[in-house]
């Protein structure tokens, strides 16, 4: 229906981007579940105006009133959202008008103007993402491959379209890594050299999250970074990001040393057990991975602020090193379990997880025992028992019950129930 409407307007409509790539990568036996469809409209009989995509989306929404329409950006693009069933998830349909982007200076926000489909594809990141399938007549179904994308899909290569690509938009370095790891493709040699050139020319110093100098770019970098940290393939992706020098956008000296790797992996293992216990509050694993990385350099809190991480996350990071010092010094002086429990109860469990992986085995083990066992131990007596024993309810109750719990934790009394 969208294609028919476009055709009536004298426009061409194309399926572009990841959808075409994924179609080419899908064999005949697999059903492709496209959840994110990108369409581009350009002039055929009649030139388009920047609003063509929006007009098309509005027409489509009139046909499918259950979809939700949103329009964004200075060069308007429209998105339609359908809520499919819970198993299939939602369907996003993005419709844009063919456009060209100009970067007034490196890593700037691009300026945009209407263009042909060829130019629209040329502004894209990689050859494998610069393919289009025409959905309108004539030549409906034709695959447009101006830059050798089909060959690169076949040979499993991530290749940029022009040498300046990473200088213009350093988030493409993150995208190159993401696609390489996700699709199990290689970053083509020349493209890798362009990445090295961009990184060595200081592109990440210019857009550093420490400075937040270009907010729109920061938002895109954040999106790419979180995408990677949330993905199943986060470990090889993080390794490759480090290898290409892309972690410099977090901090000029950000390095995942063997020790930091160990902490991240240990945290991940712990979180699996921790989350398996339904009594424990849940927290996003990717966020804690990021917190551990940010806690490895002093400006981590500034970066967390610029990344607009959740408030609790920023709070945790702000006090992490101070809390770590306190725990490191005080915990080994605690003589018995009840003392350790009383001391550790001052800290949130997520903070303790982060601190545990930064410390030596005895402290780690104590924190683990506290989180998984001791903190869940209930006093063998409760208020009703005290009443039965003839004590009148008073402020002393809490004190007595705590004392009983401490004796119980230290094995000095047994539970008689
Ligand atoms: P995914 O399957 O991860 O969604 P995708 O290719 O659809 O992959 P999107 O981030 O949805 O990725 O982007 C859609 C398309 O927009 C891409 O295929 C690419 O052509 C283009 N694109 C996205 N980000 C950039 C960028 N930073 N620079 C150039 N082109 C981009």
Measured from the Cα of 179, ligand 1's closest atom is 3
Residue nearest to atom 28 of ligand 1 (CA): 125
Distance 61 CA to ligand 1 centre (A): 24
Residue 176 pLDDT grade (very low, low, confident, very high; cuts 50, 70, 90): very high
Distance 239 CA to ligand 1 centre (A): 22
Catalogue the E-assigned strands of 73-124. Answer: 77-83, 90-97, 99-102, 111-114
Pick from 366, 225, 364: nearest CA to 304:
225
Average pLDDT, the chain: 88
Distance 359 CA to ligand 1 centre (A): 41
Residue nearest to atom 30 of ligand 1 (CA): 124
Distance 124 CA to ligand 1 centre (A): 8
Distance 314 CA to ligand 1 centre (A): 30
Measured from the Cα of 227, ligand 1's closest atom is 3
Residue nearest to atom 21 of ligand 1 (CA): 124
Above 70 in pLDDT, residue 23?
Answer: yes
* pLDDT, mean of residues 390-401: 83
* pLDDT, mean of residues 153-178: 96
Question: From the centroid of its chain, how far is CA 56?
Answer: 31
Q: The pTM is what?
A: 0.87
CA–CA gap between residue 172 and residue 238 (Å, rounded): 15
* pLDDT at 48 (0 to 100): 62
* pLDDT, mean of residues 16-45: 82
Residue nearest to atom 12 of ligand 1 (CA): 18
Distance 129 CA to ligand 1 centre (A): 7
Residue 251 pLDDT grade (very low, low, confident, very high; cuts 50, 70, 90): confident
27-56: buried (b, 16+ CB within 10 Å) or exposed (e) per residue?
Answer: eeeeeeeeeebbbbbbbbeeebebbbbbbb
Measured from the Cα of 171, ligand 1's closest atom is 27
In angstroms, the Cα distances linking 417 to 323, 382, 385, 390 are 38, 12, 11, 19
* pLDDT, mean of residues 307-324: 95
Q: What angle is formed at CA 17 by the lines to CA 14 and CA 19, rounded to 5 degrees? A: 85
Above 80 in pLDDT, residue 402?
Answer: yes
Above 60 in pLDDT, residue 44?
Answer: no
157-158 and 186-187 beta bridge pairing: parallel
Above 90 in pLDDT, residue 315?
Answer: yes
191-227 confidence digits (pLDDT tens): 999 999 999 998 888 777 777 667 778 888 889 999 9
Mutate to test the pocket of ligand 1, among 15, 17, 185 (most ligand atoms within 8 A of CB): 17
Residue nearest to atom 2 of ligand 1 (CA): 18
Measured from the Cα of 38, ligand 1's closest atom is 14
Residue nearest to atom 16 of ligand 1 (CA): 17
Distance 18 CA to ligand 1 centre (A): 6
Residue 395 pLDDT grade (very low, low, confident, very high; cuts 50, 70, 90): confident
Distance 241 CA to ligand 1 centre (A): 18
List, as one string, the DSSP characters of 225-291.
HHHHHHSTTHHHHHHHHHHHTGGGGT-TT----HHHHHHHHHHHHHHHHHHHSTTSPP--HHHHHHH
Pocket of ligand 1 (CB under 6 A): 17-18, 36, 38, 124-125, 129, 169, 171-172, 175
Residue 260 pLDDT grade (very low, low, confident, very high; cuts 50, 70, 90): very high
Question: The complex's ipTM?
Answer: 0.97
Distance 200 CA to ligand 1 centre (A): 25
């Amino acid at each position: 229906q969208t294609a028919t409407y476009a055709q009536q307007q004298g426009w061409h409509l194309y399926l572009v981007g990841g959808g075409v790539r994924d179609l080419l990568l899908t064999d005949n036996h697999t059903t492709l579940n496209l959840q994110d469809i990108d369409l581009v409209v350009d002039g055929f009989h009649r030139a388009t105006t920047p609003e063509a995509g929006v007009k098309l989306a509005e027409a489509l929404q009139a046909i499918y009133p259950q979809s939700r329409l949103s329009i964004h950006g200075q060069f308007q693009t429209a998105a339609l959202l359908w809520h499919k069933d819970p198993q299939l998830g939602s369907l996003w349909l993005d419709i844009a008008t063919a456009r060209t982007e100009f970067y007034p200076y490196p890593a700037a926000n691009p300026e945009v103007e209407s263009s042909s489909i060829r130019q629209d594809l040329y502004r894209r990141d990689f050859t494998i993402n610069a393919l289009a399938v025409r959905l309108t007549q004539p030549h409906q179904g034709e695959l447009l491959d101006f830059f050798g994308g089909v060959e690169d899909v076949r040979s499993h290569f991530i290749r940029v379209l022009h040498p300046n690509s990473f200088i213009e938009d350093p988030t493409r370095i993150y995208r190159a890594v993401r696609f390489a790891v996700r699709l199990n493709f290689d970053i083509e040699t020349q493209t890798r050299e362009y990445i090295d050139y961009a990184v060595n020319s200081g592109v990440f110093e210019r857009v550093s999250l420490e400075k937040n100098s270009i907010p729109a770019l920061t938002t895109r970098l954040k999106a790419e970074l979180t995408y990677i940290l949330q993905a199943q393939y986060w470990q090889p992706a993080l390794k490759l990001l480090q290898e290409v020098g892309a972690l410099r956008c977090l901090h000029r000296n950000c390095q995942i040393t063997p020790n930091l790797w160990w902490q991240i992996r240990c945290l991940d293992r712990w979180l699996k057990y921790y989350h398996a216990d339904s009594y424990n509050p849940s927290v996003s694993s990717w966020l804690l991975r990021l917190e551990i990385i940010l806690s490895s350099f002093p400006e981590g809190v500034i970066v967390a602020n610029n990344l607009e991480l959740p408030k609790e996350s920023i709070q945790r990071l702000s006090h992490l090193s101070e809390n770590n010092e306190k725990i490191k010094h005080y915990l080994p002086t605690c003589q018995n379990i009840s003392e350790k429990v009383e001391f550790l109860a001052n800290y949130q469990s997520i903070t303790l997880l982060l601190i545990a992986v930064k410390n030596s085995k005895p402290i780690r083990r104590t924190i683990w025992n506290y989180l998984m066992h001791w903190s869940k131990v209930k006093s063998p007596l409760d208020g009703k028992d005290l009443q039965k024993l003839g004590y009148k309810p008073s402020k002393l109750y809490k004190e007595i019950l705590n004392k009983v719990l401490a004796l119980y934790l230290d094995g000095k009394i047994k539970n008689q129930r």
